[in-house]
Amino acid sequence: MVFDLDGTLVDAYAAIHESLGVVLAAFGRPPVTRDETRRMVGHGLEILIAEAVGGENVAEGVRLFRERYERVGLEATRLLPGAESVTRILYESGIRLAIASNKPARFTRPLLEGFGISGRFDFVAGPDDGYPPKPAPHMVFMALSTMGVPGKDAVFVGDMPVDVATARAAELSIIALPTGSATRKELEACSPDAIVENLEALLPLLLAS
């Protein structure tokens, strides 16, 4: 199984919202709400900053964002309900797990370690590891290679249309959850293979055999 992170396994919107607020203030832009932040994320940090303060300010905006996020990221991020138990059950059932996220891996890895679940994942990557951001399938291909699993035996789990597009590009099945930045209606429009309401609902689908 290849998981997305934000909105799929963790709720990082408070930390992202605070860090984005620092960037907006630095460039004299009006603040945005946490719900607006939720709708903006998921396509990579550079795209988020470009949308917030303009492409000409990306480099400095990214620097400011990372500076704040490194201070508040772990403290202000929470596992989504079921993330600990579901990943534990899958891991103990012998299912290989990976994470392919547009969040920089420099943030993802400390989060997983802080939550005590990093050892369950064979592969964790983000665009800062040298991969193009999703929906490019490169991270997924490397995850499968690292785990030694063919695509026909893998499934992607994510919360956004970009995750559906990523899975399609990698020729993986895709299960979507309306627990992050996209509504169920938006996910339905992308035609994933399945939509489940929460992480616990994955288990009957994945462990039925």
Is the pLDDT confidence value at 50 over 90? yes
Cα–Cα distances (Å) from 45 to 81, 90, 102, 180, 181, in that order, read 25, 30, 8, 16, 15
Q: What is the pLDDT of residues 189-206, one digit of tens each?
A: 999 999 999 999 999 988
Q: Which residues contact 193 (CB under 8 A, 6 or more apart)?
A: 155, 173, 174, 175
Say whether 124 sits in a helix, a strand or coil. strand
Say whether 172 sits in a helix, a strand or coil. coil
Q: Check if the beta carbon of residue 156 is closer than 8 Å to that of residue 163.
A: yes
3-state per-residue secondary structure call for 3-67: ECCECCCEECHHHHHHHHHHHHHHCCCCCCCHHHHHHHCCCCHHHHHHHHHCHHHHHHHHHHHHH
> Quick one: average pLDDT of 128-153?
97
Q: What is the pLDDT of residues 84-126, one digit of tens each?
A: 999 999 999 999 999 999 999 999 999 999 999 999 999 999 9
Question: 2-10+78-206 with 12-72: one CATH topology?
Answer: no
CATH code assigned to 2-10+78-206: 3.40.50.1000
Is the pLDDT confidence value at 43 over 90? no
- Among residues 152, 151, 154, 177, which one has the least CA distance to residue 164? 177
> Quick one: average pLDDT of 140-159?
97
> Quick one: average pLDDT of 138-163?
97
4 classed as catalytic: yes
Cα–Cα distances (Å) from 51 to 16, 29, 39, 47, 194, in that order, read 14, 12, 12, 6, 31
Task: Point out the least confidently predicted range of 45-49, 80-84, 143-147.
Answer: 45-49
Which of 4, 6, 159, 163 is an active site residue?
A: 4
Question: In one letter, which amino acid is 108?
Answer: T
For residues 30 and 52, what is the distance between their CA atoms, to the nearest angstrom? 10
- Quote the tokens at residue 110: 């400390």
How high is the pLDDT of residue 73?
Answer: 84
Percent of the chain with pLDDT over 90: 88
Computed from CA positions of residues 175, 178, 181, 187, in that sequence, does the dihedral angle turn out positive or negative?
positive
- Among residues 130, 202, 132, 198, which one has the least CA distance to residue 165? 132
pLDDT bucket at 209, cuts 50 / 70 / 90? low
Q: Which fold has domain 12-72?
A: DNA polymerase; domain 1 (1.10.150)
Please give the mean pLDDT across all residues of the chain.
Answer: 95
Q: How are beta strands 78-79 and 2-3 bridged, if at all?
A: unpaired
- Residue 189 is classified by DSSP as T
- Among residues 176, 207, 206, 209, which one has the least CA distance to residue 194? 176
Domain boundaries in the chain? 2-10+78-206, 12-72
